[in-house]
Structure 1
Amino acid sequence: MNERKERCCLRSSYWLWILFNIIIWPFALIYSNQSMKEMIGNIFGVALFFMIFFMIPLFISKPKLLLSLLSINAFIAILTLHYDVSTEFNPYLLLVITLLMAEGFYHLSIRFSLLLGGFMVTITIIVVFTTDISPNVRVYIILYLIFTLAAMVVFKKMKNRNDDLDARYEALLSEYRSLKRRRVSEEEIARQEERMLIAHEIHDSVGHKLTALLMQLEAFRMKVLEKDKEHVQSLKKLASDSLDETRRAVKSLKNKDTGGLPGILRLIRKLEMESFMRIHFSVKHGAFTAPLTGEQSFVIYRSVQEALTNIMKHSNKREAEVMFESPGGSIFRFEISNPITNHTIYREGFGLTSMRERLEKHGGSLEVFQTKEKFIVRGFLKIGYGG
């Protein structure tokens, strides 16, 4: 997550440097007030400056090379705008030097930044003293350079402090998510142990007593008169049905995978915590009470999981909307959507194909499409379908 954020910052800052330089350099060349023939050398210098400028992103992770490139560009800027010491001082040189210093302080460590800043301030002051300008302007330029360097040092220290705070925040967030996952896991274990305990209690008490009741009813049926046997048989059937229902309840309690929407939500909540995604849930009328089987719940969960996994792999925005509904109580419908920035043609891969096959096996279907703003995965299952 930190690396992604850093790449976005580098990309945006890179375009800012380009924009600022494109604005400054034409004015710097115009200020020299030369003919096109006389400006050939200046234009060549600008071309060389931008050639090195476009190489800088390749050496962000190599501070010594980056320091060298920025220093070379400072020399090129001075030679381009002040190749003749007898010419008038070009004030746009200050802006170019300031941009180079700012880029160095943004990318380099404090030690390399100070080296670069000191070097650029020194060579600019040398240019100032070798140019015929008034003492007041000379003092102003020197003060400007000193204050700019001091401001950049303060900025660098604040940036380092913020980066340190961001790193600590990410570490704390990671630890928090780990503790949250552990808590959910422990809650699930405790819940399962409680279910097992209840299942054993039902099996040992109610189950055994119903079995004993059936045996006693059978013995009683053999002793009663013929006219009362039908009544005893109905009592025996009632006890047998109760025993079957008790066994089903015990089996359901021992089953770790709970069906229905609550089971799906627990599984998706775990996925949300582990995927660093922001998921918005929308549960419409009938979805919570939909009588889904454990297998149907698992199919829906796998479908949602596959859709969210695709979002993590292919989308720039780690955000999704998950909607569940059960219109009329006959079908269960789900929809996963996420915002898109680039409208590209998608191909249905193995994951979506498997999702479609699982849903169709259980009497459902899958629909995948995209609009100008969203990519949408929509599916449904028939409630009560036997598969």
Structure 2
Amino acid sequence: MPWRLGSSAIFFTAYFIALLCRARPAMLFVTLLVASLWPIGTDAFNPYILLVFSIIAGKAAYRLPAIQACVIGIVLVVCAIMPDLLGYPGFPWPFLVLYSVILAIGLALFRTVWARYEESSVRNETLLSEYRNMKRRMNRIRSGLNEFRMQSEKAARTKVREGRADLAVKLMRNDYRIAAAVDNPFVQLAEQHV
């Protein structure tokens, strides 16, 4: 009985230390590996072990790289089968295999959907930022808050080429020329302004 209490204490310690190891996948892997070594019951069947193993597998799939999450999953399946191998009451093998396959498929789909979400979130944030910048520039041009500075033609073309200026206007005695990027929506507004 004392070894069961000690191993339960080790499990809960490792499980809650895992919260502190989010930034370090290697330490998180070790703590979840230790947490997956749940003590085997002696006399009574305990269905909650499967719930605990599912929570650990979910945490591994969410926080760890795919290979380390697979290792945790294999260790959890072996730990779920161990009571039956040692003669203690436990879940039947076909149920454990079916449950493990369904859980693995579910967690793999979760990782796929989560990766797509993260990718689309970054892309959407970039597009939103670009849209806001363009809207600010359009409002600045429409409201007449344009900034025209005298500088050499070479410096103005360099700024346009590098993207530090939307466009450059070369003024001549009776004419003007606009230097801008190929797909610049501000050219028409600048022509109206000039």
TM-score category of the 2 structures, normalised to the smaller one? 0.5 to 0.7
Asked whether the equivalents of residues 41 and 83 of structure 2 are also in contact (C-alpha less than 8 Å), the reply is no
Amino acid at match of 1:185: R
* Pairs within 5 Å for 1:99-248: 99-133=55-89, 137-189=92-144
Asked whether the equivalents of residues 89 and 131 of structure 1 are also in contact (C-alpha less than 8 Å), the reply is no
Q: How many residues align?
A: 148
Structure 2 residue 54 is matched with structure 1 residue 98? yes
Which stretch shows the higher mean deviation, 87-96 or 162-171? 87-96
Say which structure, 1 or 2, has more relative contact order (CA 8 Å, 6+ apart).
Answer: 2
* Alpha-carbon separation, structure 2, partners of 1:102 and 1:96: 10
Report the CA distance between 1:95 and its aligned residue.
0.9
Asked whether the equivalents of residues 60 and 72 of structure 2 are also in contact (C-alpha less than 8 Å), the reply is yes
Structure 2 residue 14 is matched with structure 1 residue 59? no
Asked whether the equivalents of residues 36 and 75 of structure 2 are also in contact (C-alpha less than 8 Å), the reply is no
Q: Check 1:65–1:145 CA distance in 2 against 1; reply closer, same or farther (3 A cut).
A: same
Report the CA distance between 1:60 and its aligned residue.
0.8
- Scaled by the length of structure 1, the TM-score of the pair is 0.35
* Alpha-carbon separation, structure 2, partners of 1:155 and 1:111: 15
Amino acid at match of 2:94: V
The Cα offsets for residues 175-224 of structure 1, whole Å up to 9 and x where unpaired, read as 1112122222222346799xxxxxxxxxxxxxxxxxxxxxxxxxxxxxxx
Amino acid at match of 1:68: V
- Scaled by the length of structure 2, the TM-score of the pair is 0.65
SS in 2 for 1:139: helix
Asked whether the equivalents of residues 74 and 97 of structure 1 are also in contact (C-alpha less than 8 Å), the reply is yes
Report the CA distance between 1:124 and its aligned residue.
2.0
SS in 2 for 1:61: coil
Gaps of 5+ in 2: 149-194
Which stretch shows the higher mean deviation, 148-157 or 125-134? 125-134
Structure 2 residue 36 is matched with structure 1 residue 50? no
Q: Identity of aligned pairs, percent?
A: 24
* Pairs within 5 Å for 1:316-335: none
Report the CA distance between 1:125 and its aligned residue.
2.4
Gaps of 5+ in 1: 1-37, 194-387
- Of Structure 1 and Structure 2, which has the larger fraction of its residues in strand? 1
Structure 1 segments of 4 or more deviating over 6 A? none
* Alpha-carbon separation, structure 2, partners of 1:128 and 1:148: 20
